[in-house]
Amino acid sequence: MLSDALPTSYEVGVEAARVQEGDRVAIIGCGPVGLSALLTVLPSKPSQVVCLDMNPFRLETAKKLGATHTLNIADVGFGGKIMGIISSNPERKPGFDVVIECAGRPESVALAQKFISVGGRISIVSSGLKETPINLFEVQRRKVTISSGFLDGHSTSHLIDLVAKGELDPAPLVSHKFKLSEVEKAYEVFSNPIENKTLKVLLVNNDE
């Protein structure tokens, strides 16, 4: 995880979005990368971290890891619910200061633009989106910054230090553990994440 999920979510998501203390943050998609974004954004001390997904197990995990709110995207009328959360302080402009998109769907990119505040920052962590809907007029009018990219690994040593100090614990992202001789079973579990409540699968030597 320190070679991929954690540094990717931190570099392309948290760091690129310049998360600051007190920011209201939304994370769309609570797979391993989205949950890694949650773990790595918390040291920045945001005032809110709202995690969105369609998988109840992943939302439950996000809540355990420190999300202030979780919302199922499939809920009817969830738009009203989310606006109620981020509009709780009338002295602040409506919307999230930062949205970190980790779901890898065009709909999630559209959603990020819908709930970003004026002057907010959107970081698109997911890759492989062939058609990404960007409403350029709204982005320009509301002075929104959108960033994306790929992992280059410059943060890995920093994240290793946080783990060594006990300030970052990636262990909760491992949902299953298999021996190397059970690799076929491991792939089967990993390929059915909803049914098996899968996050990350750990393979170990047979003698461990």
Kindly tell me the sign of the dihedral angle through the C-alpha atoms of 171, 174, 177, 182.
negative
Where are the chain's structural domains?
Answer: 5-156, 171-208
Flag whether pLDDT at 76 surpasses 60.
no
Flag whether pLDDT at 58 surpasses 90.
yes
Give pLDDT, residue 91: 64
Give pLDDT, residue 194: 85
Of the candidates 181, 123, 169, the one whose C-alpha atom is nearest the C-alpha of residue 147 is 123
Q: What does the pLDDT look like over 92-144, one tens digit per residue?
A: 677 899 999 999 888 889 889 988 999 999 999 988 777 788 899 999 999 99
Give pLDDT, residue 157: 92
CATH number of 5-156: 3.40.50.720
Q: Which pair of tokens denotes residue 198? A: 């899968």
